[in-house]
Chains A and B, each alone.
Chain A
Amino acid sequence: MKITFKLNGKTVQVEAPSDASLLWTLRERLELTGTKFGCGAALCGACTVHLDGIPTRACITPLSMVSRRSVTTIEGLSEDQSHPLQKAWVEAQVPQCGYCQSGQIMQAAALLENTKNPSREQIVAYMNGVICRCGTYTRIIKAIEMAAKER
Chain B
Amino acid sequence: MKALSHTRQALSRRQFLTAAGGITFVITASSLVPRSLFGESPDQPVSGEDKSINAWVHISPDGKITIYNPAAEMGQGSMTALPVLVAEEMDADWSMVQIEYSPIEPSVYGAGGRRGGGRMMTVGSWAVSGYFDNLRHAGAQVRYVLLANAAEKWEVPVESLTTEPGVVVHEASGKRMTYGEIASFARIPDEIPEIPMEKMKSPDRFRLIGKVMPRYDIPAKTDGSAQFAMDVVLPDMVYGVIARAPVNGARPELLNEQDLRKMPGVVDVVLLEYGVGIVTESIETAFSAQNKIQINWTGSPKAEGHNSEADLETYPGLLDRREGRFNRIAENGDAEDGLNTAARTYTFDYRNDYVYHAQMEPLNAVVALSPDGQSADVWAGTQAPDGARSAAARALGLDRSRVNFHPCYLGGGFGRRSMSDYVEEAAILAKAVKKPLKLIWTREDDVQYGAFRPMSLQRMQAGVDQSGNLTAWKHQIVGTGGGLLASGAENPYYTIPNLRIEVLNVDHGVRTKHWRAVGHGPNKYAIEAFIDEIALGEGRDPYAFRRELMKNSPRALKVLDKVAKMSDWDARPREGRARGMAFAERSGSLAGGVCEISVDRESGQIRVHHFWVAIDGGTIVQPDNARAQTEGCIVMGLSSVLTERITFVDGKVQQSNFNDYEILRIADAPESIEVEFIPSTEDPAGLGEAGLPVVGGAVANAFRALTGKRLLHMPFTPDRVLEVLNG
Contact = CB atoms under 8 A, between A and B. Distances in A.
Contacts of B412: 97, 99, 133-134
A137 B670 CA distance: 9
A34 B409 CA distance: 13
Interface residues of B, number: 66
A136 B221 CA distance: 13
B442 A40 contact: yes
Interface in A132-148: 132-141
A129 B639 CA distance: 15
A98 B411 contact: yes
A28 B233 contact: yes
Interface in A53-94: 73-75, 77-78, 81, 85-86, 89-90, 93-94
Nearest to A86: B222
Nearest to B630: A135
Contacts of B673: 138
B218, B219, B287, B409 pick with most chain A CB within 10 angstroms: B218
Interface in A20-67: 20-21, 24, 27-28, 31-41, 43-44, 46
A105 interface: yes
Given A37-B362, A86-B222, A141 B624 contact: no
Interface string B628-651: 110111111001000000000000
Contacts of A89: 218, 221-222
Interface in A97-131: 97-102, 105, 124-125, 127-131
B224 A32 contact: yes
Nearest to B282: A17
A86 B218 CA distance: 10
A135 B638 CA distance: 10
A8 B625 CA distance: 33
B219 A90 contact: yes
Interface string B214-258: 110111111111111011010001000000000000000000000
Given A90-B218, A96-B76, A135 B443 contact: no
B173 to A, nearest CB: 42
Contact of B222 (A44, A101, A134, A135): A101
B665 A134 contact: no
A38 B636 contact: no
Contact of A141 (B285, B440, B666): B666
B411 A97 contact: yes
A93 B635 contact: no
Contact of A140 (B74, B226, B657, B666): B666
B288 A19 contact: yes
B10 interface: no
Given A93-B625, A133-B360, A139 B631 contact: yes
Contact of A41 (B215, B224, B409, B443): B443
B669 interface: yes
A31 B360 contact: no
B635 A137 contact: yes
A97 B664 CA distance: 17
Contacts of A19: 284-285, 288
Nearest to A41: B657
B658 A131 contact: yes
A19 B76 CA distance: 38
A125 to B, nearest CB: 7
B283 interface: yes
A93 B624 contact: yes
Interface string B664-700: 1111011011000000000000000000000000000
Contact of B409 (A97, A100, A134): A97
A135 B635 contact: yes
Contact of A128 (B75, B443, B625, B667): B667
Contacts of A105: 222
Contact of A39 (B443, B625, B667): B443
The 8 A-B residue pairs with the shortest CB-CB distance in the complex, in nearest-first order: A34-B224, A135-B635, A99-B411, A96-B75, A98-B221, A97-B75, A33-B231, A135-B632
Given A17-B285, A131-B665, 18 more contacts: A17-B265, A17-B284, A21-B284, A24-B283, A27-B231, A33-B228, A33-B230, A38-B361, A43-B659, A44-B360, A85-B222, A93-B214, A93-B215, A97-B412, A98-B411, A99-B360, A105-B222, A135-B669
25 contacts: A17-B282, A19-B285, A33-B231, A33-B233, A34-B223, A37-B440, A38-B361, A40-B287, A77-B223, A86-B222, A93-B218, A94-B218, A96-B628, A98-B220, A98-B409, A99-B359, A99-B360, A99-B411, A101-B222, A105-B222, A133-B636, A133-B663, A135-B636, A137-B635, A138-B673
